[in-house]
Structure 1
Amino acid sequence: MAFTDRSLPAREAILRAARVRFGDDGYDRATVRSIAADAGVDPSMVMRYFGNKRQLFALTAEFDLRLPDLAAAPREQVGQVLAAHLLDRWDDDHALQILLRTATTDVDAADRMRAIFAGQLGPQIAALTGDPAGAATRAGMVATQTLGVALCRYVLRLPPVVAMSPAEIVTWIAPTLQRYLVSTP
């Protein structure tokens, strides 16, 4: 979405107000009307610039995967460690689920999701493998698996995947993550 220079101050005010409001009230209690009031704009401007509350949230919330130090884990268990950790993060963080849902239809939210995986997982993989050049590819492959599971479990709510226990999911995906993380392609 292209914006004129005149719209930039209003957009920035809305983003600032949204960060504070979402931080103070959480996603469910924050409203477009309250964010607009805090920013000193009409609620229609929030909708015009950001589409809806979900898209605004996806652009303003801070997302930290809180990754464990994979280099400190036994090398033969890094896939399991990462699978268990990411599944716990998805289970416990409604905001990540909202970001994923929004990223399927919103370019800015998709950019945010890509940045999270590249910026947080890429350096971990580079440290783990000693191969910074290949880290982005490996992080991308890890993202295909973990985002696919998250999409099926939390967004599409695919019954067989929803019915699985976290331990069962880890058992299924850990070998694939292990291969993406440390095996020679």
Structure 2
Amino acid sequence: MTDPSESGPGRRSSDRTKAAILRAAREHFAARGYERTTIRGVAADAGIDPSMVMRYFGTKERLFDAALAVDLRLPDLAAVPPHELPAVLVGHFVDRWEGDPADDALLVLLRSAVTNEQAAERMRRTFAEQVLPALAAALGPERAARCAGLIASQVLGLALTRYLLRLPPVVSLDRAALVAAYAPAVAAVLA
């Protein structure tokens, strides 16, 4: 028998409310950063009372953590032929950001990490827990440890210039041109 608190109309309403709060929180953290984002502002954009934000998340810190939970959804890099690895990595991140960059937690985290140490630590942890192991599967642990930070600098630099700063020469490139331009830089890091 299913617990009524785990399913049914009430549960769906709760899930919708949480999703609306998280979507509004990502937008606020992206536009205003951690310091200037308020629970009241998030609640107003989610169309709910601020007490509901507090009910679901407790504090602004916990809301930030939930809104910026990042799953990079990296492919199995061990299955990628070495000569294709640079293009696969760049293509993966471009495809991720081209989907909905406004709601991408990694981009919000990147914007916030510049001014907030909690966000910077979350970014470091995301790459240490997700990128490094994925690269280690393809390159071995020693080589991955040497390369992970430099690869991060390439893909995060791309994110910064294309999706946050929106530099026209970078924004004007299509996916194929982006991958063709960035893959050699990632290949040089892997060499």
TM-score (norm 1): 0.71
Q: Is it true that 1:127 corresponds to 2:137 in the alignment?
A: yes
CA contact (8 A) 2:25 2:63 kept: no
Instruction: Give the equivalent residue in structure 2 for 1:72.
Output: 79
After TM superposition, give the deviation of residue 23 of structure 1 in Å: 4.1
Is the partner of 1:118 in helix, strand or coil?
helix
Instruction: Give the equivalent residue in structure 1 for 2:113.
Output: 103
Instruction: Give the equivalent residue in structure 2 for 1:14.
Output: none
Instruction: Give the equivalent residue in structure 1 for 2:183.
Output: 174
Instruction: Give the equivalent residue in structure 2 for 1:12.
Output: none
Q: Is it true that 1:164 corresponds to 2:169 in the alignment?
A: no
Q: Compared with structure 1, are the counterparts of its residues 29 and 169 closer, same or farther at alpha carbon in structure 2 (3 Å cutoff)? A: same
Which runs of structure 1 show a deviation greater than 6 angstroms over 4 or more consecutive aligned residues? none
**In structure 1, C-alpha distance between the alignment counterparts of 2:25 and 2:132, rounded to whole Å:** 34
RMSD: 2.8
Q: Is it true that 1:60 corresponds to 2:66 in the alignment?
A: yes
Report how many aligned residue pairs link the two structures: 152
CA contact (8 A) 2:90 2:182 kept: yes
Q: Compared with structure 1, are the counterparts of its residues 22 and 66 closer, same or farther at alpha carbon in structure 2 (3 Å cutoff)? A: farther
Equivalent residue for 1:117, pick from 115, 120, 127? 127
CA contact (8 A) 1:65 1:120 kept: yes
**In structure 2, C-alpha distance between the alignment counterparts of 1:136 and 1:114, rounded to whole Å:** 13
After TM superposition, give the deviation of residue 27 of structure 1 in Å: 1.7
Q: Which moved more, 1:89-98 or 1:111-120?
A: 89-98
Q: Which moved more, 1:92-101 or 1:63-72?
A: 92-101
Is the partner of 1:154 in helix, strand or coil?
helix
Is the partner of 2:95 in helix, strand or coil?
helix
CA contact (8 A) 1:118 1:136 kept: no
CA contact (8 A) 1:153 1:161 kept: yes
After TM superposition, give the deviation of residue 87 of structure 1 in Å: 0.9
After TM superposition, give the deviation of residue 84 of structure 1 in Å: 0.4
Instruction: Give the equivalent residue in structure 2 for 1:37.
Output: 51
Q: Compared with structure 1, are the counterparts of its residues 106 and 56 closer, same or farther at alpha carbon in structure 2 (3 Å cutoff)? A: farther
Which deviations, in whole Å up to 9, do the C-alpha atoms of 1:91-146 show, x marking residues without a partner?
2242222121111211111111111112111011111112x133223110100100
**In structure 2, C-alpha distance between the alignment counterparts of 1:118 and 1:66, rounded to whole Å:** 14
Gaps of 5+ in 2: 1-14, 27-37, 44-48
**In structure 1, C-alpha distance between the alignment counterparts of 2:75 and 2:109, rounded to whole Å:** 21
Q: Compared with structure 1, are the counterparts of its residues 88 and 145 closer, same or farther at alpha carbon in structure 2 (3 Å cutoff)? A: same
Letter in 2 for 1:60: A
Instruction: Give the equivalent residue in structure 1 for 2:162.
Output: 153
- Superposition pairs of residues 85-96 of structure 1, within 5 angstroms: 85-93=92-100, 94=103, 95-96=105-106
Identity of aligned residues (%): 44
Equivalent residue for 2:91, pick from 69, 84, 88? 84
**In structure 1, C-alpha distance between the alignment counterparts of 2:119 and 2:16, rounded to whole Å:** 19
Letter in 2 for 1:37: S
After TM superposition, give the deviation of residue 175 of structure 1 in Å: 1.4
